[in-house]
Amino acid sequence: MVENAQRIHPHKAESSVECRYQLITDDDGAPLIHLSTFGSRNRASKPKSSQSLQIDRTVGVSLVELFCETFGLAAPGEDYEPRLIEAYRANPRLFRELISKDVAAEDVIGLAHRRAQVERFRRLMTDDDVFAQEASEIPGQGDEKVWQRFFEQNPWILGTSLATQVLTAWDSDKLEQVVAGFSITGAGKRVDALLRTSGRIRSMVFVEFKTHRTQLLGSAEYRSDAWPPSKELSGAVAQVQTTVHLATREIADRLQSKDADNSDIPDDWTYMFRPRSYVVIGQLGQLVGASGGHHQAQIRSFELYRRELAGPEVVTFDELLARAEWMVDLVAAADD
């Protein structure tokens, strides 16, 4: 094709012509697009073909390249992402409206968000600068609050990763609660995360957060090949056991849920029969020797300690991360 040098003005709508196409083949069987025009819309007589044009592959490719260049589209084989980004920046509202009407797109966005949060989880555990930055956003709150805020923003990680049952937050806005008497908001023993199981019959679940840096074991052997739990781990276990004991003693068998006006929510009870509890603490990567190999005595001491506990269950941050990664990969595989 050759560029036309004539002085041409845009056609008015009333003088435009109708164009129809047909798909045909030439004598060698190669595909052709046959275009026919049928005069302007204000023509008095019935539509009659006036001009025709047949386009083969060579001309078609040239036209596609011209259209892409003129209208800012991506040509075949071209990276279209920069153009999409440019289009999004020009009209983000339109993109959001299109996505909101596409159920599949919502699934993709949800999965992408969870992938991003899993990566954020990993960086909080492995990058001290990232953790320090998030800690600086809540000054004076302590490192444990970083994790509490993270799980408040991502309740699905606790809900699908801690137990075989799906867990939901007692309060959708705040994980940390005070448990005493027949009130979750009155004065009493504080717990980092108050959850409950899902289903027709729901049970209370208590969670205490330490940090990914908290040591799992003491700094020295108690006896040969026997390593005691760290002061922080044994203290967290004692704290949760006390919280659960006080809650079950004061609340008894079950707790009635209340509406905003303090009236009872019909048939909404949370049961307190030996409620499950958890301590999220440290990383298994601590249980290695000087050369980086597994320290079997430390691993044995830690595993035996937590396995013999009737409660709480002890889960490390890297175990929680691995479960979250597995959940995201499982959903992604189901969508493929």
Decide if pLDDT at 169 tops 60.
no
Segment 5-18 shows an average pLDDT of 73
- What are the residue ranges spanned by the domains of the chain? 16-78, 128-335
Q: Are 123 and 130 in contact (CB under 8 A)?
A: yes
DSSP state, 223? B
Alpha carbon distance 269, 254 (integer Å): 6
Decide if pLDDT at 182 tops 50.
no
Q: Are 277 and 311 in contact (CB under 8 A)?
A: yes
Segment 158-174 shows an average pLDDT of 59
Given its phi and psi angles, is residue 102 left (phi above 0), alpha (psi -120 to 50 degrees) or beta? beta
For Cα atoms 179, 184, 189, give the angle at the middle one, nearest 5 degrees. 20
From 2-6, 24-28, 126-130, 152-156, the region with the lowest mean pLDDT:
2-6
Q: Are 276 and 243 in contact (CB under 8 A)?
A: no
The string of pLDDT tens digits covering residues 89-104 is 777 777 666 655 555 5
* Burial label, 213 (beta-carbon count in 10 A; 0-12, 13-18, 19+): middle
* Burial label, 263 (beta-carbon count in 10 A; 0-12, 13-18, 19+): exposed
pLDDT band (50, 70, 90) for residue 184: very low
Task: Report the predicted TM-score, pTM, of the whole model to 2 decimal places.
Answer: 0.62
Q: Looking at residue 224, what is its pLDDT?
A: 92
Q: Looking at residue 279, what is its pLDDT?
A: 94
pLDDT band (50, 70, 90) for residue 178: very low
Q: Looking at residue 187, what is its pLDDT?
A: 37
Alpha carbon distance 168, 160 (integer Å): 9
pLDDT band (50, 70, 90) for residue 185: very low
Residue 253, amino acid: D
Q: What is the largest CA-CA distance in the chain?
A: 106
Q: Looking at residue 59, what is its pLDDT?
A: 82
- Written as six digits, the tokens of 87 are 């289009």
pLDDT band (50, 70, 90) for residue 76: low
Better-scored residue on pLDDT, 264 or 224: 224
Which candidate, 191, 187, 146, 194, places its Cα nearest to that of 173? 194
Better-scored residue on pLDDT, 281 or 53: 281
Residue 207, amino acid: V
Decide if pLDDT at 165 tops 70.
no
Better-scored residue on pLDDT, 258 or 139: 139
- Written as six digits, the tokens of 210 are 């330490």
Query: Helix H segments across the chain?
Result: 57-71, 81-90, 92-100, 103-126, 128-136, 143-153, 155-161, 231-251, 296-308, 317-335
Alpha carbon distance 147, 145 (integer Å): 5
Better-scored residue on pLDDT, 230 or 17: 230
Q: Looking at residue 157, what is its pLDDT?
A: 84
Segment 173-184 shows an average pLDDT of 48
Alpha carbon distance 135, 143 (integer Å): 6
Better-scored residue on pLDDT, 69 or 58: 58
pLDDT band (50, 70, 90) for residue 301: very high
Decide if pLDDT at 147 tops 70.
yes
Segment 58-70 shows an average pLDDT of 77
From 192-201, 204-213, 232-241, 317-326, the region with the lowest mean pLDDT:
192-201
Q: Looking at residue 186, what is its pLDDT?
A: 42
